[in-house]
Amino acid sequence: MSNLFRRDPRAQWIARNRLHPLHVPEGQLIQRGPTGLLRKNVHAIGFIGPNGLKRIDRSGAAGSFKQLNRQSAQGSKSAAQEEIVLPLHKVANPDFYILVVVDGVSGRLSSHDRDILGLAHKLATQPATIENDAAFDKGTGGNEARTGVDAGERTGAVVAVFFDTITEEKLDTAGIDRLVNFEGNEYQQYNPEKRCADLYKLVNQINPRHILFPDSIHGGADLGRRLAAKLSTTVASNVWKVNGNQIVCRGSAGKTDITRPITNIMLALEECNEPVSDTRHECKVLEQPLIPPLKHASDQTLEQAITNTYEQKITDLGNESVNPNDINLAEAGFILSGGNGITDWDQFHHAAAILGATEGASRVAVDDGFMPRERQVGATGTWVTAKVYMAVGISGAIQHMQGIAQCEKVIAINTHDSCDMVKRADLSAIGDSQEILAALLALVHEQSGDPKSDKNNQSTSTSDTSDQTPHQSTHVHMLEAQHA
């Protein structure tokens, strides 16, 4: 018999396809060439490509579930997933703190925030160097207070700072050891001076070793630079790799890597580190004695007293209502997406305008010319992170399912009750899309007190429905989110 290694193409294809029923999440893919030589697996989590980028697993399967039991081809292809309890990472008496100010858009942790928390966990658990120890001891009262503690034995705690209400449910699996939540009416508007003043007090209280901000457009980059100016220190932006005492920053629009010594304040890019996925953390609320109760005169309102405690230079004029279709798909909170099952596109555009949703589409609808290319949702289009994603007439191809993996609530309207989109959805409506959308619009008119029936409005064109007031759309948006 021949001693040559024989490959199994089907087994290798199943190992690469994470959506296959027989796929084993914890199994390692071993590929061999025709001569039996081992080949590099570019699909493996943690694989570093030619440009130095590391492949990050965002499926949530790494370390979250036990290995799936493989079943025979003749039997059922479904495998039950048993959730396991992750080990608890506790830091009772931390030697230092790593402060992370998350964006927390709508009170949730984005993928960018989780990457920053993963980087903070790396900085908190890696062995400390002599330079950092000397600086740390100098800032905490000298070496006398740290005698008998080796540099490599020091462990830190990750402190996450949220502004306004927190709606995230899985804070313990994000790598948060301590939690600080600044909550109040003053944080519901754009108020960078107030946030910078509170962060300044918090930094003086806990004396963190490093302060991390997401280098994003949601306020992290601006707030990090404000705090650096207030502390009279330098700040490193576009940070995407940390190696000991050296950091690598992106320059020249991402074409050049700049290596520099590590700084106290860093604005990190997305995918700067793998998010925490294999441990649970205490997420203990940190006391805030630094914020004393407000003392204001009887003739002053609460807003006036808050304004007088810090220098106010920016006045928030409130949110401006815009057309939902002007919002980028990647930033939209409510998306109504259409696919091959849509029979009346005028009704679809009318429903999107009434519901106040941003329009999306599957690849089939885009290829057929019903929707523009920038509206395509999926791995080959735009990855979305909407709170509510309503898929109408979309069966659920693999690329489309990957693009909506980070959506919080998925609603499916389809004629087939066994399609992949219905299996993924949190709420499903089985039936004709035109009839279901008509019934939904009739319910919206009934809830809003509008006696007009949707049957009289189905003939309305897209240009007519684009003049709907954004206030009505916002009201329906919240209604749909509550139902979902």
What global pTM score does this model have?
0.60
Domains and their CATH numbers in the chain? 1-84 (no CATH), 88-289+303-308 (3.40.50.620), 324-483 (3.40.50.1220)
Segment 278-313, tens digit of pLDDT:
888 988 888 654 444 444 444 545 455 444 455 567
Angle in degrees, CA 369, 378, 107, rounded to 5: 125
Contact predicate 102/161, CB 8 Å: yes
**H and E: helices and strands count for the chain:** 13, 18
Query: Which range (4-18, 113-127, 138-152, 416-430) has the least confidence?
Result: 138-152
Nearest Cα to Cα of residue 348 among 365, 328, 330, 323: 365
Segment 348-379, tens digit of pLDDT:
999 999 999 999 999 999 999 999 999 999 98
Angle in degrees, CA 117, 118, 123, rounded to 5: 95
CA pair distance 297, 311, nearest whole angstrom? 18
How would residue 51 be classed by pLDDT, with cut points 50, 70 and 90? Answer: low
Segment 139-162, tens digit of pLDDT:
443 333 333 334 445 789 999 999
Contact predicate 357/325, CB 8 Å: no
